[in-house]
Amino acid sequence: MARIIDGKMISQQIKDECKEEVAVLTEQGKHICLAVVQVGADPASSIYVNNKKKACAYIGIESLAYELPEETTQEELLALVEELNEREDVNGILVQLPLPAHIDEDKVIQTISPLKDVDGFHPASVGAMCIGQPGFLSCTPAGIIQLLKRSDVEIEGKECVVIGRSNIVGKPMALLLLRENGTVTVCHSRTRNLKEVAKRADILIAAIGKPRMINHEYIKEGAVVIDVGIHRENGKMCGDVDFDDVVDHVSAITPVPGGVGPMTIAMLMRNCVESAKR
C-alpha cells in the first residue's frame, strides 16, 4: 500500500512552528509584515494571494495588500517595489506571478531587495542557494524537501529525477536535492527516453505542467513520487501524475490537492519569519 504524503498536515505543523516563533518575536517588540502585490485580477492569482493573506493572519504576520490594475506600467510597479524595499516596517515583498505581458518579470524580481525576497526568486537568493550560503530558499522546492524529510524519506545517496527545469521549481529543486546529497538528474522537453530516465528514480519529482502525464510506465516499483503540478479539469483538481494509475506501484506519493500546494505557502511564511529574525 502506498503511503500518502500529507502536505496539509505537514504544512500545518510548519505554520504552527512559525506562529510560535512570531509570538516570541512579538513579545520582543518585533512586528512582522509581508507586502503582497498583485497586478490585474487573474482568478488563479487571486486565490493564491487570498490563501497567503489567510496564512499571514493565522500566524500573526501583518499582510499589506496592493491590488493594482492590469494597466499598471512597469515603471509604476518598480517604483512601488523600491518604496517597499525602503520601508523598515516591511520584512518581505511578494509580487504575485505571472505578471501581465507588458511587464518584464525578471526586472521586477531583480528590483526586490534580496533582504526581503521571501519568494527566493532573486538571482542573489538563487546564487546563495547554489553555493550553500544563507539566503531565502525558493518556497515550492524548499517545501518539497520538508515533505520528504518530515515523512522520513531519505534523500542521501538516492537517485533523484526531476522532470522540469523552470527557474521557480525544477532548477532550484535539483539544487536542493543535490545539497541533501541526492544523485540528481534533471529532465526537460528535449530529454531522450524520458520513461527510461524517470524509471531510474528512487525519488521522482514531476514539475512539468502537463495534466496526468506521468503514468506507471515512468515509475520504478517502490519509488517515492512528488507531484508538483496543479491543474483544474472539469472542476476537479489533478497533478502532473496520473495518481490512480501509479498509486499501486509507488511506496509513497503526494496527492493533488493536499500535497505540495500547501507547502509552498507554509515555506513562504517560514521565509517571512526568517526575514524578521535577520
Task: For residue 271, state whether it binds ligand NDP (rule: CB under 6 A).
Answer: no
In the bound state with ligand NDP, the residue whose beta carbon lies nearer, of 240 and 242, is 240
Q: How far is CA 258 from CA 28, 127, 271, 275, in A?
A: 35, 30, 21, 27
Binding mask 163-182 for ligand NDP (x = CB under 6 A): xxxx-xxx------------
Q: 15: closest CA among 59, 63, 57?
A: 59
As measured in angstroms, the least distance from the Cβ of 57 to ligand NDP is 20
CB atoms within 10 A of CB 79: 12
In the bound state with ligand NDP, the residue whose beta carbon lies nearer, of 66 and 121, is 121
Residue position matching grid coordinates 535577520: 278
As measured in angstroms, the least distance from the Cβ of 46 to ligand NDP is 15
Residue position matching grid coordinates 515512468: 218
* Helix H or strand E segment including 21: helix 7-27
Could you give the 3-state DSSP secondary structure of residue 264?
A: helix
Whether 210 is catalytic is: no
Task: For residue 141, state whether it binds ligand NDP (rule: CB under 6 A).
Answer: no
Question: Is 125 marked as binding a ligand?
Answer: no
Binding mask 229-258 for ligand NDP (x = CB under 6 A): xx---------x------------------
**d(C-alpha 207, C-alpha 178), whole Å:** 17
**d(C-alpha 67, C-alpha 170), whole Å:** 29
Binding residues for NADP(+), as ranges, are: 164-166, 230
> What residue ranges bind ligand NDP (CB under 6 A)?
140, 163-166, 168-170, 187-191, 194, 207-210, 228-230, 240, 260-261, 264
